[in-house]
Amino acid sequence: MEKYINNYVIVAIFIVIGILLPVVALTVGRLLRPNKPNDEKKTTYESGNEPVGEGQVRFNVRYYLFALMFVVFDVETVFLYPWAVAYKQLGLFVLAEMAIFTGLLLIGLLYAWKKKVLKWNSI
Amino acid sequence: MGAWLDETLTWGHALLFFLWGVILLLVVLGFVTYAIFFERKVIGWMQYRIGPNRVGPWGLLQSVADITKLLIKEDTIPRKADRALFILAPALAYVPAFAVLAVIPYTQKLYFADINVGLLYYVALSGISTIAIILGGWSSNNKYALLGGMRSAAQMISYEVPLVISVVGVVMLSGSLNLRSIADQQGDWFWQWNFLPQIIGFVVFIIAAVSELNRTPFDLPEAESELVAGYHVEYSGFRFAFFMLTEYVYVYAIAALTTVLFLGGWHAPFPFLDWVPGIIWFLLKFTSIVFFLFWIRATLPRIRIDQLMGLGWKVLLPVAILNVFLTAVYMELFVK
């Protein structure tokens, strides 16, 4: 039990160190770096031209479709991992079950493929 | 490290763990500094150039000078940017990159956290950096940054799926998600390491890993020639440095993870070489993977975005799933 807690203490310590480095480095940087802001410096970069319109432009809906596909297959991995860990103890039966589960998802992938979701046609 | 893990937690122990963490942080920062230097040197040699050679002997202090310069550069935040998110993004990208290093074992004795869901922890945390990249791109309020961030996120989530499925075969063979026992269970001869029994998974893992790292040939998010620099166009000074740092810390993490999962960790390639300390073998394998990453950067051109998405979803994902079932059938026939 002690070992179990200690391991997660280390994980927490790593996260704390990870947060501390940017905080410390940026605070030290603030003391070292010059700060002379003016209006030209603070404009948005657009290859040297005056920025046209909003910066947060509309973007391709395809990104959203990829995100949806990602959610589906990432959930699949959530099921695959415990299955894989326990596979040595389990028999042919679970292999068949996983084949059915993955098969269903692959049909979904095939459907997306045929619907040309995976085809990229602009930016 | 192992002995302290078994004892009851006291403040003294916590301080000790903290100091070890700081030591690892310094090692990683040293790695990043010299990885950048060697990357420039190696690519220079491959292109018949000398590479950096002015600052310090053989140019050894070049990266140190670069980092110092970034530290004393003025930090500009555009007027239109979403200030809070803009400041948060680089830190949010960096924290998971360092936190994943907690579960990586270096030798039988030298490891940090020995948690049973080590691999899952790695996969889960490394996904958070994607959010930071979207945040950075979105909060800059810049068209290039937004497109770069979106591309980057699309690429990273597309390749994360084959990446995590390709290691399922390894998990099945060793029956554990604990990185220490995965490394430990690989045999004494080099052909017993996971990369040969799991050759399909290994190839998919390497391709997907290079893509996750946003490195050439998959460096579209940063495509200098089309998107200027992608999601970090507006970042300057040390905030920019944190995005670069994240990238190289992930190089460290992926190289270490590949060593542990597929290349036998600290095992010697032949049993009669066992007298060489494990850490030497670990470092040798680790360095060759890092060199491999630099090497392909010097030799391969960037691929197009339609090819990129097609490769991820139409080739790597089916192959990775096929590998899971091939491994399952193999285990049914030969292992049980």
- ipTM of this predicted structure: 0.89
Is A111 touching B (CB cutoff 8 A)?
A: no
* Selected residue of A5, A19, A56 to mutate for chain B interface (largest B Cβ count, 10 A): A56
Residue A70 domain-assigned (yes or no): yes
- A5's tokens: 């807690």
What is the C-alpha to C-alpha distance for residues B237 and B76, in angstroms, rounded to an integer? Answer: 8
Interface contact flag, A2 B9, Cβ < 8 Å: yes
- B189's tokens: 């001869």
pLDDT in tens, A39-86: 877 888 877 777 777 777 787 778 888 888 888 888 888 888 999 998
* 3-state secondary structure at position B109: coil
Chain B residues within 8 A of A61 when measuring between CB atoms:
none
Residue A34 domain-assigned (yes or no): yes
End-to-end CA distance of chain B: 35
Residue A67 domain-assigned (yes or no): yes
Chain A residues within 8 A of B204 when measuring between CB atoms:
none
pLDDT in tens, B201-248: 999 999 999 988 888 788 776 666 666 777 888 888 888 889 889 989
Both A68 and A110 in one domain: the answer is yes
Both A110 and A67 in one domain: the answer is yes
Residue A78 domain-assigned (yes or no): yes
Interface contact flag, A33 B74, Cβ < 8 Å: yes
Decide: B136 and B243 in contact? Cβ < 8 Å: yes
Both A65 and A110 in one domain: the answer is yes
Nearest to A84 among B7, B94, B168 (CB): B168
Cα A42 → chain centroid: 30
Decide: B73 and B237 in contact? Cβ < 8 Å: yes
Residue A48 domain-assigned (yes or no): no
Q: For the whole model, what pTM was predicted?
A: 0.92
Which amino acid makes up residue A19?
I
| CB burial string B86-113: b at 16+ within 10 A, e below | bbbbbbbbbbbbbbbbbbbbbbeeebbb
What pLDDT, on a 0 to 100 scale, did the predictor assign at position A123?
Answer: 45
Interface contact flag, B144 A3, Cβ < 8 Å: no
What is the C-alpha to C-alpha distance for residues B308 and B234, in angstroms, rounded to an integer? Answer: 26
Both A30 and A74 in one domain: the answer is no
Is A7 touching B (CB cutoff 8 A)?
A: yes
pLDDT at B7 over 80: no
Interface contact flag, A66 B154, Cβ < 8 Å: yes
Q: How confident is the model over A99-122, as a mean pLDDT?
A: 85
pLDDT in tens, B233-246: 888 888 888 988 99
Both A77 and A105 in one domain: the answer is yes
What is the C-alpha to C-alpha distance for residues B209 and B251, in angstroms, rounded to an integer? Answer: 9
For B156, counting Cβ atoms within 10 Å of its Cβ (0-12 exposed, 13-18 middle, 19+ buried), the class is buried
Both A38 and A65 in one domain: the answer is no
Q: What residue of B is the nearest CA neighbor of A43? A: B78
Q: Fill in the DSSP letter of residue B58.
A: G
Q: What residue of B is the nearest CA neighbor of A59? A: B147
Q: How confident is the model over B253-268, as a mean pLDDT?
A: 90
**Whole-Å CA distances, B211 to B18, B75, B161, B167, B228:** 33, 30, 12, 16, 19
- B287's tokens: 């360095």
Peptide bond preceding B301 in cis form (omega within 30 of 0): no
Chain B residues within 8 A of A86 when measuring between CB atoms:
175
Interface contact flag, A35 B75, Cβ < 8 Å: yes
Interface contact flag, A63 B237, Cβ < 8 Å: no
What pLDDT, on a 0 to 100 scale, did the predictor assign at position B291?
Answer: 93
Residue A105 domain-assigned (yes or no): yes
Give the structural domain span for A12.
Answer: 2-42
How many A-B residue pairs are in contact by the CB < 8 A criterion?
Answer: 232
Long-range contacts of B112-116 (CB under 8 A, 24+ apart): B112/A10, B112/A14, B112/B1, B112/B20, B112/B21, B112/B24, B113/A7, B113/A8, B113/A10, B113/A11, B113/A14, B114/A3, B114/A7, B114/B2, B114/B5, B114/B178, B114/B180, B115/A7, B115/A8, B115/A11, B115/B178, B116/B176, B116/B177, B116/B178
Q: How confident is the model over A5-21, as a mean pLDDT?
A: 89
Residue A51 domain-assigned (yes or no): no
Interface contact flag, A13 B14, Cβ < 8 Å: yes
Interface contact flag, A33 B73, Cβ < 8 Å: yes
End-to-end CA distance of chain A: 52
> In chain A, how many domains are there?
2
Both A37 and A68 in one domain: the answer is no
Using CA atoms of B55, B57, B59, B60 in order, give the dihedral in degrees to the nearest 10.
Answer: -110
B121: Cβ contacts below 8 Å, ≥ 6 apart: A11, B100, B102, B103, B115
Interface contact flag, A29 B102, Cβ < 8 Å: no
Chain B residues within 8 A of A114 when measuring between CB atoms:
none
Is A73 touching B (CB cutoff 8 A)?
A: yes
Interface contact flag, B238 A15, Cβ < 8 Å: no
Phi, psi of A44 (to 5 degrees): -75, 145
Chain A residues within 8 A of B90 when measuring between CB atoms:
22
What pLDDT, on a 0 to 100 scale, did the predictor assign at position B226?
Answer: 66
Residue A119 domain-assigned (yes or no): no
- B93's tokens: 């990208």
B226: Cβ contacts below 8 Å, ≥ 6 apart: none
pLDDT in tens, B297-317: 888 888 887 788 888 888 999
- The A residues from 35 to 64 touching B (CB cutoff 8 Å) are 35-37, 39, 41-47, 51, 54-57, 59-60, 62-63
Interface contact flag, A118 B313, Cβ < 8 Å: yes
Nearest to B22 among A17, A28, A56 (CB): A17
Both A68 and A26 in one domain: the answer is no
Both A33 and A67 in one domain: the answer is no
